[in-house]
Amino acid sequence: MRAAFLRTLEELAAADERIVFLTGDLGFTVVEPFATRFPRRFVNVGVAEQNMTGLAVGLALAGKIAFTYSIANFPTLRCLEQIRNDGCYHKANLKIVSIGGGLAYGALGSSHQATEDLAIMRALPGLVVVAPGDPLEAEAATRAIAAYDGPCYLRLGKAGEPVVHERPPAFELGRAIPVRDGRALTIISTGAMLAPVVRAADALAAEGLAAAVLSMPTIKPLDSAAILDAARTAGGILTVEEHSVIGGLGGAVAEILAQHAPSRVRFRILGLPDAFCRYVGSQDYLRERSGLAVEDIMRAARQLVAD
């Protein structure tokens, strides 16, 4: 996803001189093409994310489209007050880009794991929150937030995520993307969990359990129509996210179901527990220890339908 974002941003910057790119001393070996091609529109602010956000907002209020970029928690939680009071309050054209959402930087410990960011960022007034599921969605999401006039948060994986879609999907902020058809249940995925969810759905189909898959790249605004349609037509809804079970995709879907679903719907949230991850290892290893492996998704789907 990172490569898709940077490649697309460079392309957009070539066509729009308003685009500027600020990093908190991160990304070297991957950001050099942008910095070399557009040296007057690239700023390494250093390990000073609060200053980075303030500078980006100033540029945005002066007419620029300002992208900030760093690992996981640093462009979000470390400078939350600046995002809220400077960016969101002023409806600035600020685009916050987080690399390595969830457990992607697992070997570096909890300080580098963004596991509460969706909940926190979607609570900020006026902030659009986007978490694409594969590199094709990441490219489309980058174009969408660049075109959107206002503050946005783009949560990306790290690198090496597989392409799930056979062709570039129709992408619109606030709209889900259908990936698989099925009537037994609907699995709604956000972010880099899309590939494991699709593998789980395919394996369930081989067992005779047909699960629809919806990719939900926009957490805010949420596609309530797609959620309510699934509530009416599927045997249950399972949400899957590499994020705390509190306040992320599952919480957002639960809000829609509780307030608008015509009747009670079988529903379950599969995500990270409400605890710091104490393990160290690869992203796949941490997913297994946290109950987010393909087998865990399949088990949750079976239990949901059986209840």
Tokens 């079976």 found at? 302
- Within a domain: residue 168? no
Q: How is 221-270 classified by DSSP, letter by letter?
A: S--HHHHHHHHHHSS-EEEEEEEETTTSHHHHHHHHHHHH-SS---EEEE
Is there a single domain that holds both residue 140 and residue 181? no
Instruction: Phi first, then psi: give them for residue 80, nearest 5 degrees.
Output: -60, -40
Question: How many domains does the chain contain in total?
Answer: 2
CA 21/CA 221 separation, integer angstroms: 25
Is there a single domain that holds both residue 252 and residue 148? no
pLDDT for the residue 72: 86
26-82 pLDDT, tens per residue?
A: 878 899 999 999 999 999 999 999 999 999 999 999 999 999 999 989 999 999 999
Cβ atoms 157, 192 nearer than 8 A = yes
Low-confidence stretches of the chain (pLDDT beneath 70): none
CA-nearest of 106, 128, 54, 108 to 85 is: 54
pLDDT for the residue 107: 86
CATH number (domain holding residue 290): 3.40.50.920
Is there a single domain that holds both residue 297 and residue 194? yes
Is there a single domain that holds both residue 96 and residue 57? yes
Provide the residue range defining the domain that includes 55: 2-155
Is there a single domain that holds both residue 10 and residue 140? yes
Is there a single domain that holds both residue 103 and residue 188? no
pLDDT for the residue 101: 94
pLDDT for the residue 65: 98
pLDDT for the residue 283: 93
CA gyration radius, the chain: 19
pLDDT for the residue 263: 84
pLDDT for the residue 28: 80
pLDDT for the residue 70: 95
pLDDT for the residue 178: 97
Q: Is 49 a catalytic residue?
A: yes
167-194 pLDDT, tens per residue?
A: 999 999 999 999 999 999 999 999 999 9
pLDDT for the residue 160: 86
Selecting among 11, 17, 32, 49, the annotated active-site residue is 49
CATH number (domain holding residue 29): 3.40.50.970
- Within a domain: residue 207? yes
Is there a single domain that holds both residue 151 and residue 182? no
Instruction: Phi first, then psi: give them for residue 260, nearest 5 degrees.
Output: -130, -15
Is there a single domain that holds both residue 213 and residue 145? no
- Within a domain: residue 70? yes
Is there a single domain that holds both residue 119 and residue 247? no
Is there a single domain that holds both residue 71 and residue 109? yes
- Within a domain: residue 193? yes
Is there a single domain that holds both residue 139 and residue 21? yes
Of 155, 189, 205, the residue that ends a domain is 155
pLDDT for the residue 236: 96
Taking CA atoms, 72 is separated from 40, 68, 252, in Å, by 26, 12, 21
Is there a single domain that holds both residue 120 and residue 229? no
- Within a domain: residue 167? no
- Within a domain: residue 172? no
CA 221/CA 49 separation, integer angstroms: 26
